[in-house]
């Protein structure tokens, strides 16, 4: 066989040899028996070789890599309920609610369906009930009294995540799941009610509770369910006793986190309200030159009388010391300042800050793996950190845990609402061109500049409060102690990615510490935020 190397005229010469002893050549043997020498024959052939035309091959060869696939879990519905309920508790939503009650606003467009139903069927009736119960023994304080009752109704209706109507909006929820690359499990209302919530001993047939609370209930089998509290009208059946587990606390807990109040207080919200109250009473500040010397509010507009009632009711509000003790009891966090001297807590969560920051760092490692389509992301470290954080959090869920977070939220929402009043636009030198997401925030930043407080914007503190609450609610109320497979931790890390990365960014902006930074050792920065804030303030004052 010959290989043609080029096209054109080709000459082929072939040689044929005949071997001796070839049976086919027996006729060539002579008489003596000797073989005739081998014979050779030659053949020559000419021809032309033509090159075959080249056939071009075109097109795209697609090669794709995809992220690690996951499966749906029932707690996805619970996490979406947490997100929707915390967003319903936002200040902007609260402001619309207050405008509907007191300013004649009727436009509820843009709100999810469940929130529109809550506005008309739950919040306003609850407000009407509380308005007749919350009485103050002060002269000319009714305007403040009804604002206080309305705020309480708003918080107590929205913090009940498990109450109907359930906090779901199908279109928005589907879009959020798609952005997180998490499978949508179908009707979230059905998944939450049928697949995630469980029966508990003594609960009525139409009431179910969280798996975590069902486990706690199983530890108290000898205690009956008390259907009504002492403040509710109407008697229970004749066999009822004064002792028992409250039905509403078990089947519809108020899901709030005190960390929201902690970060807003670190952002100087409460201090701003206190400074205005002090000046309203004609009391000079401690500084040589009073920054609020020109703060004069006329009595012709509502803010004047609202502040009067607010100051009169001071004896009924939480003190900074009381909140500080509870911050320490829940999270191991505490404030710095003259108002919280001689701090002697009986119980503290000294390991929570380290555990929580470790969890956030592991989430950032997970995100890097999850974004790399050549790597299968490992969620086992995240699961172990979740279990550790859940355990420490649950140890602080006692004593004032049931009521103080809601009370602090009510008081701070009212402070934000007062600061958002248009009268303060004239009283405080705000910056018009800064786009704050909530109208009270520029007042706080203006006060911080006047007083020489931290120059870090209250926006970052507000984000820490919102994101921190959403993350910790999913950790505290999830049944993490009995989870062995990493699937739920995998889904949680993906589901709460905006909150985790938003918290990490805001924490760096506030304290200067990057929780996602790669370090040589495995230690995370567990320094108290109040200590870091104090150091930054000293550096700021030294540089000014």
User: What pLDDT, in 10s, does the model give residues 105-142?
Assistant: 888 888 888 888 888 788 888 888 888 888 888 898 99
Element (H, E) at 14: strand 8-17
Q: Note the pLDDT of residue 91.
A: 97
Q: List the domain boundaries for the chain.
A: 80-251, 260-338+348-543
C-alpha 178/C-alpha 72 separation (Å) is 12
Burial of 94 (0-12, 13-18, 19+ CB in 10 A): buried
Which residues are bridge partners to 13 per DSSP?
A: 44
Give the strand pairing for 245-246 and 225-226. parallel
Q: Note the pLDDT of residue 107.
A: 82
Q: Which two tokens stand for residue 174?
A: 């589907």
C-alpha 226/C-alpha 203 separation (Å) is 10
User: What pLDDT, in 10s, does the model give residues 259-316?
Assistant: 999 999 999 999 999 999 999 999 988 777 889 988 999 999 999 999 999 999 999 9
Up-side HSE of residue 394: CA atoms within 13 Å toward CB? 18
Residue showing tokens 């997401």: 437
Q: Who's near 346: CB < 8 A, 6+ residues apart?
A: none
b/e 206-215 (16+ beta carbons within 10 angstroms → b): ebbbbbbbbe
Q: Note the pLDDT of residue 37.
A: 63
Backbone CA torsion sign across 233, 234, 237, 240: positive
Q: Note the pLDDT of residue 65.
A: 76
Query: Crossing angle for the helix pair 404-419 and 320-331, nearest 10 degrees?
Result: 130
Per-residue pLDDT tens digits of the chain, which is 544 residues long: 666 667 777 776 777 665 555 555 555 555 555 556 666 766 777 777 777 777 777 777 777 777 788 899 999 999 999 999 999 999 999 999 999 999 888 888 888 888 888 887 888 888 888 888 888 888 989 999 999 999 999 999 999 888 888 999 999 999 999 999 999 998 999 999 999 999 999 898 889 999 999 999 999 999 999 888 777 755 555 556 678 899 999 999 999 999 999 999 999 999 999 999 999 999 988 777 889 988 999 999 999 999 999 999 999 999 999 999 999 999 999 999 888 888 999 999 999 999 999 999 999 999 999 999 888 999 999 999 999 999 999 999 999 999 999 999 999 999 999 999 999 988 899 999 999 999 999 999 999 999 999 999 999 999 999 999 999 999 999 999 999 999 999 999 999 999 999 999 999 999 999 999 887 566 788 899 999 999 999 999 888 7
C-alpha 215/C-alpha 217 separation (Å) is 5
C-alpha 268/C-alpha 449 separation (Å) is 11
Q: Note the pLDDT of residue 211.
A: 95
Q: Note the pLDDT of residue 528.
A: 95
Q: For the chain, how far is it from start to end, CA to CA, in angstroms? A: 93
Closest residue by Cα to residue 514 from 381, 360, 351, 384: 360
Q: CB of 492 within 8 A of CB of 470? A: no
Q: CB of 348 within 8 A of CB of 332? A: yes
Task: Say how many residues make up the chain.
Answer: 544
C-alpha 401/C-alpha 493 separation (Å) is 27
C-alpha 333/C-alpha 335 separation (Å) is 7
C-alpha to C-alpha distances, 293 to 296, 299, 416, 451, 453, nearest whole angstrom: 8, 18, 22, 12, 17
Q: Note the pLDDT of residue 520.
A: 58
Longest dimension (CA), the chain: 154
Which residues are bridge partners to 44 per DSSP?
A: 13
C-alpha 373/C-alpha 66 separation (Å) is 6
Q: Who's near 134: CB < 8 A, 6+ residues apart?
A: 145, 148, 149, 152
């Amino acid at each position: 066989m010959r290989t043609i190397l080029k096209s054109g005229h080709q000459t082929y010469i072939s040689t044929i040899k005949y071997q001796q002893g070839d049976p086919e050549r027996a006729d060539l043997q002579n008489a003596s028996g000797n073989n005739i020498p081998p014979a050779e024959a030659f053949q020559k052939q000419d021809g032309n070789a033509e090159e075959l035309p080249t056939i071009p091959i075109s097109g795209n060869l697609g090669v794709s890599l995809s992220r690690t696939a996951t499966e749906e879990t029932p707690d996805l519905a619970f996490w979406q309920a947490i997100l929707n309920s915390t967003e319903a508790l936002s200040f902007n939503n609260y402001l619309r609610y207050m405008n509907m009650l007191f300013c004649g606003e009727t436009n509820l467009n843009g709100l999810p369906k469940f929130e529109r139903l809550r506005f008309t069927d739950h919040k306003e009736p609850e407000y009407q009930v509380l308005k007749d119960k919350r009485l103050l023994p002060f002269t000319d304080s009714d305007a403040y009294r009804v604002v206080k009752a309305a705020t309480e109704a708003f918080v107590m209706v929205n913090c009940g995540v498990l109450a109907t109507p359930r906090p779901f909006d199908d279109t928005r929820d589907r879009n959020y799941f798609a952005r997180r690359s998490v499978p949508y499990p179908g009707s979230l209302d059905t998944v939450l009610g049928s697949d995630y919530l469980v029966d508990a001993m003594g609960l009525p047939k139409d009431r179910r509770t969280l798996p975590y609370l069902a486990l706690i209930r199983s530890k108290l089998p000898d205690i009956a369910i008390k259907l009504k509290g002492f403040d509710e009208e109407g008697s229970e059946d004749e066999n009822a006793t004064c002792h028992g587990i409250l039905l509403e606390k078990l089947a519809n807990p108020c899901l709030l986190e005190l960390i929201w109040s902690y970060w807003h207080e670190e952002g100087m919200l409460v201090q701003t309200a206190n400074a205005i109250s002090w000046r309203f009473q004609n009391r000079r500040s401690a500084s040589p030159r009073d920054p609020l010397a020109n703060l004069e509010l006329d009595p012709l507009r509502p803010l004047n009388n609202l502040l009067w009632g607010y100051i009169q009711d001071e004896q009924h509000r939480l003190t900074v010391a009381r909140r500080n003790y509870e911050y320490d009891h829940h999270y191991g966090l505490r404030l710095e300042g003259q108002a919280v001297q001689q701090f002697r807590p009986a119980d503290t969560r000294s390991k929570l800050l380290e555990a929580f920051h470790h969890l956030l760092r592991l989430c950032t490692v997970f995100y890097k793996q999850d974004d790399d389509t050549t790597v299968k992301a490992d969620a086992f470290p995240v699961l172990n950190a979740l279990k550790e954080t859940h355990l420490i959090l649950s140890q602080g869920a006692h004593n004032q845990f049931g009521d103080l977070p809601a009370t602090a939220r009510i008081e701070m929402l009212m402070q934000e609402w007062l600061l958002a009043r248009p009268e303060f636009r004239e009283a405080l030198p705000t910056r018009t061109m800064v786009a704050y997401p909530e109208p009270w925030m520029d007042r706080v930043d203006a006060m911080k500049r006047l007083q020489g407080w931290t120059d870090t914007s209250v926006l970052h503190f507000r984000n820490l409060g919102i994101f921190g609450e959403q993350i910790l609610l999913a950790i505290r109320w999830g049944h993490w102690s009995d989870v062995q497979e990493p699937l739920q931790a995998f889904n949680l890390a993906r589901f709460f990615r905006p909150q985790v990365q938003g918290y990490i960014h805001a924490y760096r902006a506030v304290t200067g510490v990057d929780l996602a930074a790669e370090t040589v050792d495995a230690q995370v920065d567990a320094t108290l935020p109040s200590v870091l804030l104090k150091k930054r303030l000293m550096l700021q004052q030294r540089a000014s």
